[in-house]
A and B are shown apart, each in its own frame.
Chain A
Amino acid sequence: MTSQLVDVNISKKFSKMDVLNDISFTVQENEFLVIVGPTGCGKTTLGNILAGIEKPTTGHVRIRGEEIDPHIHNISYVFQEPSCIPWYTMIQDVTMGLTIRGDDKTKSVARGKEVLKLVDMVGFEDYYPWQISGGMKQRVAIARAYATNPDFLIMDEPFGHLDAQTRYLMQIEIMRIWGQEKKTVVFITNNIEEGVYLASRIIVLSKLPARVKAEYKVDLPRPRDLTSPEFLKARAEITKECEVVE
């Protein structure tokens, strides 16, 4: 049975501007929750707050009832921007979380190789970021996020910088990885199709100041077919919700 892992109830203001307006939702264990919202609605701010690197103005993010804190909780975050560390080789990069945690070196390297295999990057252990493509960098960022076996994994538009084709391949990839190593995921995107393809559940945000506009359960079997009538129906429904102007 699923149990609730994360409990979110936050508002965020920058000086006097409301960015997140009383956003509240919960995330179930091993759920793939997708948050969709228009560009510039504060999605990245939401991601940063979920990851504990930014504080909400009011409210809380709790993991198993405890205030979120990267020093205590095992969180991983895949950033929207390319985030590979330029002076780290791929293996150093993916084992970074383990090194910070103080894990045994040989074990870390073994786990590093395992996650590089998971994202199909075997043989790139000693490459530097400038030697690989943008799509590969994003795979490494995902591998790095998986390496620590996080309890809670946040992905903020991880494929936003990729071309449409690579993006599509990465969506298939992320589903394969999630199938192999189940994790509690919050996936933030502005792409409804991507959301419907990935999500167990979708939360739709409004434009600035963002609030939760609607919530959908996506019950389609995986792997999903982007052109099946059920898929298109779900997509149309959510698109319509996004178009509603208040």
Chain B
Amino acid sequence: MTEKRKELFKTVGYNILSLIVVGILWTLFSHWQHSPFFPTLTTIWKAFVGLVQYGDVEHIGLGAHIWASLVRIFAGFAAACLLGIPLGLALGLKPKFYNRTRAILEPVRFIPPIAWIPMAIVLLVGFSRYVFLIWLGAFFPVFITTLLSVTRVNPVHINVAKVFGAPRWYIIRKIVIPSVLPDIATGMRVGLGIAWMCIVAAEMIGGEMVGVGRLILKYAELIRMPEIIVGMLVIGVIGFFMNEVFIVVERWVFRWRSEVSID
């Protein structure tokens, strides 16, 4: 237990140390450059405080931007999971059906979300535009990992249930689903990352003036780097913490897995 705790302190300590090192390098470089396009950490900090206290050029506070983006991310991500997981499970259980229809789904995977922007503008309005673009990014990682993990369920585990005369629903509920859940969680984590990566594209066409992506775009028009960097860092840091929370939950839920529990 203490050994574990020590290791945790070490990990956190080294992470803080490496952040400090990067901070120093950044500072050195920005002083050497002395350019408004490569601001110092203090300038970035001031921009951050300004955004929190006075809001952006339209007096919209940073909190409001973050909240708006979070809501959109969750809506798009939830849509991706609600569709991707059941569809992945269903097609994983019916691989023939998937193989015979894959020409529909597979090509869509390679179309970047940004390429969908014109169609989204024409066909959708308001909130649905955000949800659609984020869903596009998050859906495939969730769907594909679910689909593939079903085919990797250990056949022995299924046979154990079969020999006892288990009905199909028992095998799906008690064997297939528990065995694919860890993979689904991984797919969800990847999907969540991509959802954040789509936020700028989504807020480019959403119409509303609020959202972290919108904030970056606004200041991009003004070529004001400090605020742009604040927006970038906000996305990075929120994404990071979401991922960490996800990992903690995963470890707890899947504590039956040795790979996770041993460390």
17 contacts between A and B (CB under 8 A): A48-B159, A70-B164, A75-B163, A81-B156, A82-B156, A85-B160, A86-B179, A88-B256, A96-B161, A97-B164, A100-B166, A101-B164, A128-B258, A130-B256, A130-B258, A131-B258, A148-B164
Select which of A72, A75, A83, A130 is within 8 A of B156 by beta carbon.
Answer: A83
Question: Number of A residues whose C-beta is below 8 Å from B?
Answer: 28
Select which of B159, B178, B262 is within 8 A of A79 by beta carbon.
Answer: B159
Query: How close is B173's CB to chain A, nearest CB, in angstroms?
Result: 11
> Would you call B10 an interface residue if the criterion is a C-beta within 8 Å of the partner chain's C-beta atoms?
no
| 0/1 interface trace, chain A 89-101, chain B, CB 8 Å (1 if under) | 0000000110011
A86 x B156 contact (CB < 8 A)? no
Q: How far is the CA of A85 from the CA of B156 in the complex (A)?
A: 9
* Residue on B nearest A79 in the bound complex, by CB: B156
> Would you call B170 an interface residue if the criterion is a C-beta within 8 Å of the partner chain's C-beta atoms?
yes
Q: How far is the CA of A70 from the CA of B258 in the complex (A)?
A: 32
* Residue on B nearest A48 in the bound complex, by CB: B159
* Residue on A nearest B162 in the bound complex, by CB: A53
| 0/1 interface trace, chain A 202-237, chain B, CB 8 Å (1 if under) | 000000000000000000000000000000000000
Q: How far is the CA of A52 from the CA of B160 in the complex (A)?
A: 12
> Would you call A87 an interface residue if the criterion is a C-beta within 8 Å of the partner chain's C-beta atoms?
yes
Secondary structure call for the B interface = helix
> Would you call A51 an interface residue if the criterion is a C-beta within 8 Å of the partner chain's C-beta atoms?
yes
A76 x B156 contact (CB < 8 A)? no
Q: A87-B178, A87-B179, A130-B261 are in contact. Are A70 and B160 (CB under 8 A)?
A: no
Secondary structure call for the A interface = loop
Q: Which residues of B contact A79 (CB under 8 A)?
A: 156, 159-160
> Would you call B165 an interface residue if the criterion is a C-beta within 8 Å of the partner chain's C-beta atoms?
yes
Select which of A70, A88, A100 is within 8 A of B170 by beta carbon.
Answer: A100
B163 x A53 contact (CB < 8 A)? yes
Query: How close is B163's CB to chain A, nearest CB, in angstroms?
Result: 4
| 0/1 interface trace, chain B 169-192, chain A, CB 8 Å (1 if under) | 010000100110000000000000
Select which of A71, A81, A85, A131 is within 8 A of B165 by beta carbon.
Answer: A71
> Would you call A77 an interface residue if the criterion is a C-beta within 8 Å of the partner chain's C-beta atoms?
yes
Q: Which residues of A contact B163 (CB under 8 A)?
A: 51-53, 70, 75-77
- In addition to A75-B163, A76-B164, 6 A-B residue pairs with Cβ atoms within 8 Å of each other are A69-B165, A76-B163, A96-B164, A100-B170, A128-B258, A144-B160
Nearest 10 A/B pairs, CB to CB: A130-B258, A97-B164, A70-B165, A71-B165, A77-B163, A87-B256, A100-B164, A87-B178, A100-B166, A128-B256
